[in-house]
Structure 1
Amino acid sequence: MIAILGYVTRWICDDALIFTRIVEQILAGNGPVYNLGERAEASTSTLWQWLLAFAGFVFGQSDTSTLSWMLGLLLTAAGFGFAVSATSRLHGGHVAAMVPCGVLALLGVRPVWQYATSGLETGLNTFWMALCWWLLVRSRGGGSARSARSVVGAAFAMGLGPLVRPEQALVAAVFLAALWLVAKPSWRVTLGAVAAAGALPVGYEIFRMGFYGILVPMPALTKNASESFWARGFGYVGDFANPYLLWLPLVLCTVLLAGVLRRRTDLVVTLTPVVAGLLSLGYLLKVGGDYMHARMALPIFFLLMLPVLVVPASKNTRVAAVVLLAWAVLCGSLGQFVPRNGELIDDERGYYHAWTGQAWPTESADFTWKLEYLRNAARPRMLTYEGPGPQARILTVPLRADVPSKSVIIGVYLGTTGVMSPVDAGVVDFWGLANPIGARFEFPTVKPGHSKPLSNAWLLADYADPSAPVPSPGNFAVRADVTADQVAAARHALSCGELAEIQRSVREPMSPGRFWANLTGAVHRTGVTVPPDPFAAERTFCGSS
């Protein structure tokens, strides 16, 4: 059912095309970067990025946009299968008849169908959580050599959480703790499990620090993931729960869970996904949610439903299943999120359906025609894109001599502009998700991920030929707030202190010395913030008046 519903709502979004651009760079031999000559980690899911690269290599396709939604749908369906299998085993395996409950709650929510594809890592996330659940249920008992190998293998799979998404480190920790409590391994097996769980995440973190020079993916800097925005977070969760009347399935499933807990002795296993989900909910509320409706809440909803996806058949559970089925049919048919004016949360599928004019936007070609005029305008110059259509204001200036790209385009739509451009053309992210300077701008409390626009002063300072005059508003129809003094201040700030070291950490050719400097300075470099105003940045980093 989830495969069918996911297919009829199939789509990809602009953010999915960011992965496509990085995969193109990987398959072209340029490494896991967004732009040639600049080491910025623009993808939030490391494992999804490399899974797409592997799929592109196997199928001989550098443009993996179509593969991304297909692979996401396959992983979502497989995840539901693993999850239901595990819950059935938890409640008695093949002995007792089961009725669907929590799985009906999931199937009744339209975003669950939509994010079965989308081209993002949601399908991988669903599959990983389901696999952890299946492995935990399977690990009950132990003590034999075979169970020792099973514990180590399960720990390895659970430890992949931070590579699925950084915040899944919290879920991984909960499942690993539960695995230890349930399996009760010897100290030798415990050490082996710890080593297995940490091998890839720790190894990749060392690589991230040495290669990119920071502790987290760059979007985490852009979105200030360490800050607290509780009010916005409660609004985000409310905008997920209210359109679908989620209080009804949540109350019913809580009652079902209470009934399950009264009959069970292995409470640790049953409560593990619930604890992981509640902790994840707390983190989501703290960081303020996201701008994509439901996206970040769906993994939490999935975790909370895991222990009651199916439950042993009885008179009461059959009644609950009938109520949930009726709710799922009505909610799936009528429940819909409608963004309000001034709302910071978007209906992403609806937006890209309208923007591309396609009922099922499932490949990069559905997006790139909108910006074809930029591709035609691209040449060995820099283009600043300042509007939504062909009549947008465009600023054209000569590039700095040491810029490795043959041309540079400033992209408001980072994914679309990225797949539109060849791998040897540079794309500067207007919103800072892939820009080492913009990502560090001091954070205003507005739309997540779209709060840190790069001004023309910073763009000209970083990419334009210093000998070229600053374009005047009359000649180039650019904003009047771009002055030669602003550009000079920004250029000076980029040459000073911590900002200069940040530039070297991402642009200096990789060598053992550069890797070590990046590695040892990653902690400090991650915490650097930059005032958006060029004059304030100049005072901060250069000490000039």
Structure 2
Amino acid sequence: MMRSRMETYNHKSRTASVLLWLAIILYAVLLYRTAWITEDAYITYRTIDNFVNGYGLTWNTDERVQAYTHPLWMFLLSAIYFFTHNMYFSSIVFSIVVSLTAVVLFSTRAASSVRTAALGVLVLAFSKAFMDYSTSGLENPLTHLLLVIFFVLYLTRQPDLRGLFWLSFLAALAMVNRMDTILLFAPTLAWMFFNFKTWKAGWLSRIGVAVLGFLPFILWEAFSLFYYGIPVPNTAYAKLNTGIDAVSYAKQGLFYLKNSLFYDPVTLPVIMLGSLMPLLTKNWKRIPIAAGSLLYILYVIKVGGDFMSGRFLTAPLLVAVIAFASMPLTMPRRAWIGSGAVILALSLLAPYPSLFSDASYGTIRKGLIDEHGIADERAFYYKSAGLLRMHEGVKLPDAPLVTKGKQWQEKGISLESHIGFFGFYGGPKLHTIDSYALADPLLSRLPISKYPKWRIGHYMRIIPEGYRDTIQSGKNQIQDPNLAAYYDKLSFIIKGDLFSAERIKEIWKLNTGVYDHLLAAYQPPQMLQLSQADTDKLIVLPPTGAEVKLGRVAHAKKAYVHLSNNDDYYAIFLNGEQEVGNFAIPAKSGPKDGLLPHTIDVPDKAAKTGYDRIVILPRLLDGNSDFVYALRSLQLMEKQ
């Protein structure tokens, strides 16, 4: 009888192990089928290319600016790229290897049983967010691996000073990989720091050990301050220095979670359930793990989420999965099967389940960006940079901005808003002014443009008068005297002799706010105010464009306007202070001193709601533009 029970137990154990490895194989297959690279990753890749080719850790080679948020990921990819000189496949293969390592390590070391491991892997495989960002070229895979190692160590070691050191060290590496991930580790580090067994070592010993563990992050911050002149990435200025109020950000953050529920019904429910289980079962050791996941979700809401659907949810999902999968759960077999079935069913509720992803993913372009500016980023770029596309003979990445970048390699200077593909393939000789300011140290410190309405992660700046000429000539020609004085100081820091004692003094002054009054005194160029009748004659526009007052609420579905040749524009429709729609007007080629007619298709919402003003805004892109903007004859087609 005993032997029979043992044989039954061994049979169940073998069956569970087979199911676990089948789940891992499923994850690996989906990982290959969903593998892709986002255009944003190429912003970092340009720094990698410059670094490997001897131009330093720069984006534009004539400026020391940190245009990336993940130094550790950047350095590891740099080491691989040094040997391969193929950025696309280096990133794809490295991401796959790191992601598989993280999932296998979770399954074999973090999970309490084969069943909880199998269930956890199924969650990760059926989470659209987790699959999308297990590759993508961004730092998520390395964050996932460091999270697994951290919590395996936490769950298997006794709380002592050695454990505190290693946990601090891993958290520091994760911060070098992405600074805000400290929120995921903080509750567990606090639990370890204040634990009774480490408490006996005394305050000084614990603080000393923690500081020693955090040396990787401390050293990076010291280097960043010395090399770049600031301790945080330039992207932090570009995305946080916006003047947008906290309530608007929080609303956008909630829209981000709502978007996830619709496009990815697995991720957010599992985060909440996995985070609550330790609390409900009073599993005290796992409560700090779950708290890190919930803390990060609150942070995501606070900062407004992201424009990439699901990107900021992959790490808290993994933490929540570790929290419940590491618990000694005892459930009947049918409960385990039922849980797996529920996860599968939830994943199939998604409009585009990862389970069915193939080379055609993203070819249906409708709905890729929702009304709140949140995109299915993989669908948006899969046609250009999805791995399965190589089987169709496509040379990856294949995008118009790749071609444009190659065409601009020898042109010296450009204005562009989407700088990933364009910047990387533009090469080191091309200086690109980034109107979203991710890679531009001056623009990132300036107010964002009022129109068009900001999209999360995309905050347009108006190029100050004289700034483009300043970059092109190397002489400060910025017309606003306060901004010109500020740029002199900033330029010395990012271009001057690295080891100059005077530069070190200027770094101190810049970071302690000595020159903030110059920015505060800067007067951005104002938008031209016009009536519709004013457009009967030729109007030369400033870079900020013109607001044309109609004197009534219009509902016309089409408008006509003559605009300067070779320039791109936006037409933005306003009802009171509310933006009710916008329309991109592409450039038409022609003589540079002439105007050509354009037809504007008024967005449905604007036509239905009505609009009383139209903003005509130059898009400030290079092309054949001479940067002289003009309009004439703005007319509405009232009768359809």
- The interval holding the TM-score normalised by the smaller chain is 0.7 to 0.9
Q: For 1:215 and 1:250, locate their aligned partners in 2 and report how far apart those are by CA, in whole Å.
A: 32
3-state SS, counterpart of residue 433 of structure 2? strand
Please tell me whether the aligned partners of residues 470 and 478 of structure 2 are also in contact (alpha carbons under 8 angstroms): no
Q: For 1:340 and 1:126, locate their aligned partners in 2 and report how far apart those are by CA, in whole Å.
A: 26
3-state SS, counterpart of residue 409 of structure 1? strand
3-state SS, counterpart of residue 160 of structure 1? helix
Q: Say yes or no: does 1:348 pair with 2:377.
A: yes
The equivalent residue for 1:518 is: 507
Please tell me whether the aligned partners of residues 127 and 264 of structure 2 are also in contact (alpha carbons under 8 angstroms): yes
Q: Say yes or no: does 1:56 pair with 2:56.
A: no
In the alignment, residue 353 of structure 1 is paired with which amino acid? Y
Alignment of 1:290-301 (within 5 A): 290-301=306-317
Please tell me whether the aligned partners of residues 121 and 164 of structure 1 are also in contact (alpha carbons under 8 angstroms): yes
Q: 2:468 aligns with which of 460, 478, 490?
A: 460
Q: For 1:458 and 1:137, locate their aligned partners in 2 and report how far apart those are by CA, in whole Å.
A: 58
Please tell me whether the aligned partners of residues 443 and 463 of structure 2 are also in contact (alpha carbons under 8 angstroms): no
Q: Could you tell me how far 1:301 is from its partner in structure 2?
A: 1.8
The equivalent residue for 2:256 is: 236
Greater helix share, structure number: 1
3-state SS, counterpart of residue 42 of structure 1? coil
Q: Could you tell me how far 1:42 is from its partner in structure 2?
A: 0.4
Q: Say yes or no: does 1:325 pair with 2:340.
A: yes
Percent sequence identity is 19
Q: For 1:453 and 1:494, locate their aligned partners in 2 and report how far apart those are by CA, in whole Å.
A: 14
Alignment of 1:485-496 (within 5 A): 490=479, 492-496=481-485
Q: 1:286 aligns with which of 290, 294, 302?
A: 302
Q: For 1:532 and 1:440, locate their aligned partners in 2 and report how far apart those are by CA, in whole Å.
A: 13
3-state SS, counterpart of residue 297 of structure 1? helix
Of residues 112-121 and 457-466 in structure 1, the stretch that sits farther from structure 2 once superposed is 457-466
Q: Say yes or no: does 1:411 pair with 2:416.
A: yes
Please tell me whether the aligned partners of residues 364 and 416 of structure 1 are also in contact (alpha carbons under 8 angstroms): no
Q: For 1:225 and 1:4, locate their aligned partners in 2 and report how far apart those are by CA, in whole Å.
A: 41
Q: 1:430 aligns with which of 416, 430, 435?
A: 435
The equivalent residue for 2:172 is: 159
Q: Where does structure 2 lack aligned partners over 5 or more consecutive residues?
A: 1-23, 353-366, 528-640
Q: For 2:168 and 2:174, locate their aligned partners in 1 and report how far apart those are by CA, in whole Å.
A: 11
Q: Could you tell me how far 1:206 is from its partner in structure 2?
A: 1.6
Q: Could you tell me how far 1:35 is from its partner in structure 2?
A: 1.5
Aligned residues between the structures: 472
Of residues 24-33 and 6-15 in structure 1, the stretch that sits farther from structure 2 once superposed is 24-33
Q: 1:26 to 1:84 in 2, by over 3 A?
A: same
Q: TM-score, normalising length from structure 1?
A: 0.77
Please tell me whether the aligned partners of residues 41 and 218 of structure 1 are also in contact (alpha carbons under 8 angstroms): yes
Q: For 1:183 and 1:159, locate their aligned partners in 2 and report how far apart those are by CA, in whole Å.
A: 23
3-state SS, counterpart of residue 451 of structure 1? coil
Q: 1:371 to 1:279 in 2, by over 3 A?
A: same
Q: 1:136 aligns with which of 154, 178, 201?
A: 154
3-state SS, counterpart of residue 511 of structure 2? helix
Q: For 2:288 and 2:97, locate their aligned partners in 1 and report how far apart those are by CA, in whole Å.
A: 26
Q: Say yes or no: does 1:533 pair with 2:558.
A: no
Q: 1:534 to 1:82 in 2, by over 3 A?
A: same
* Higher alpha-carbon Rg: 2
Q: Could you tell me how far 1:430 is from its partner in structure 2?
A: 2.7
Q: TM-score, normalising length from structure 2?
A: 0.66
Q: Say yes or no: does 1:372 pair with 2:403.
A: yes
Q: 1:141 to 1:357 in 2, by over 3 A?
A: closer
Please tell me whether the aligned partners of residues 52 and 78 of structure 2 are also in contact (alpha carbons under 8 angstroms): yes
Q: 1:179 aligns with which of 182, 188, 192?
A: 192
3-state SS, counterpart of residue 14 of structure 1? coil
Q: 1:293 to 1:458 in 2, by over 3 A?
A: farther
The equivalent residue for 1:79 is: 102
Q: For 2:142 and 2:231, locate their aligned partners in 1 and report how far apart those are by CA, in whole Å.
A: 23
Q: Say yes or no: does 1:420 pair with 2:390.
A: no
Deviation string for 1:118-140 (max 9, x for gaps)? Answer: 01101011111111111111222
Q: 1:412 to 1:141 in 2, by over 3 A?
A: closer
Alignment of 1:196-211 (within 5 A): 196-211=212-227
Please tell me whether the aligned partners of residues 46 and 59 of structure 2 are also in contact (alpha carbons under 8 angstroms): yes
Structure with higher RCO (Cα < 8 A, 6+ apart): 1
Q: 2:492 aligns with which of 475, 485, 504?
A: 504
In the alignment, residue 151 of structure 2 is paired with which amino acid? W
3-state SS, counterpart of residue 307 of structure 1? helix
Q: For 1:304 and 1:31, locate their aligned partners in 2 and report how far apart those are by CA, in whole Å.
A: 39
Deviation string for 1:170-192 (max 9, x for gaps)? Answer: 23332322232458332475244
The equivalent residue for 1:66 is: 89
Deviation string for 1:71-107 (max 9, x for gaps)? Answer: 122222222233334433xx4x79xx75644443332
Please tell me whether the aligned partners of residues 218 and 433 of structure 1 are also in contact (alpha carbons under 8 angstroms): yes
3-state SS, counterpart of residue 200 of structure 1? helix
Please tell me whether the aligned partners of residues 101 and 308 of structure 1 are also in contact (alpha carbons under 8 angstroms): no
Q: 2:134 aligns with which of 94, 100, 116?
A: 116
Please tell me whether the aligned partners of residues 3 and 76 of structure 1 are also in contact (alpha carbons under 8 angstroms): no
Deviation string for 1:230-279 (max 9, x for gaps)? Answer: 100110111112333346545754675456x34x4xx1x31122111111
Q: Where does structure 1 lack aligned partners over 5 or more consecutive residues?
A: 143-147, 382-406, 468-486, 537-545
In the alignment, residue 455 of structure 2 is paired with which amino acid? K
Q: 1:283 to 1:532 in 2, by over 3 A?
A: farther
Q: Could you tell me how far 1:409 is from its partner in structure 2?
A: 2.8
Deviation string for 1:477-524 (max 9, x for gaps)? Answer: xxxxxxxxxx9764645422x332122221223223223432453243
The equivalent residue for 1:3 is: 28
Please tell me whether the aligned partners of residues 61 and 428 of structure 2 are also in contact (alpha carbons under 8 angstroms): yes
Please tell me whether the aligned partners of residues 405 and 426 of structure 2 are also in contact (alpha carbons under 8 angstroms): no
Alignment of 1:208-287 (within 5 A): 208-224=224-240, 228=246, 229-246=249-266, 249=270, 253=274, 256-257=277-278, 261-262=281-282, 264=283, 267=284, 269-287=285-303
Please tell me whether the aligned partners of residues 107 and 117 of structure 2 are also in contact (alpha carbons under 8 angstroms): no
Q: For 1:192 and 1:314, locate their aligned partners in 2 and report how far apart those are by CA, in whole Å.
A: 41
The equivalent residue for 2:594 is: none
Q: Could you tell me how far 1:285 is from its partner in structure 2?
A: 0.5
The equivalent residue for 1:304 is: 320
Q: For 1:119 and 1:374, locate their aligned partners in 2 and report how far apart those are by CA, in whole Å.
A: 19
Please tell me whether the aligned partners of residues 69 and 119 of structure 1 are also in contact (alpha carbons under 8 angstroms): yes
Q: 1:103 to 1:466 in 2, by over 3 A?
A: closer
Deviation string for 1:3-39 (max 9, x for gaps)? Answer: 3211110000111111211111111222211121201
Q: Say yes or no: does 1:17 pair with 2:54.
A: no
Greater strand share, structure number: 2
Q: For 1:304 and 1:224, locate their aligned partners in 2 and report how far apart those are by CA, in whole Å.
A: 28
Q: 1:69 to 1:526 in 2, by over 3 A?
A: farther
Q: For 1:357 and 1:108, locate their aligned partners in 2 and report how far apart those are by CA, in whole Å.
A: 19
The equivalent residue for 1:472 is: none
Q: Could you tell me how far 1:334 is from its partner in structure 2?
A: 4.7
Q: For 1:251 and 1:168, locate their aligned partners in 2 and report how far apart those are by CA, in whole Å.
A: 18
3-state SS, counterpart of residue 171 of structure 1? helix
The equivalent residue for 1:105 is: 123
The equivalent residue for 2:633 is: none
In the alignment, residue 164 of structure 1 is paired with which amino acid? N
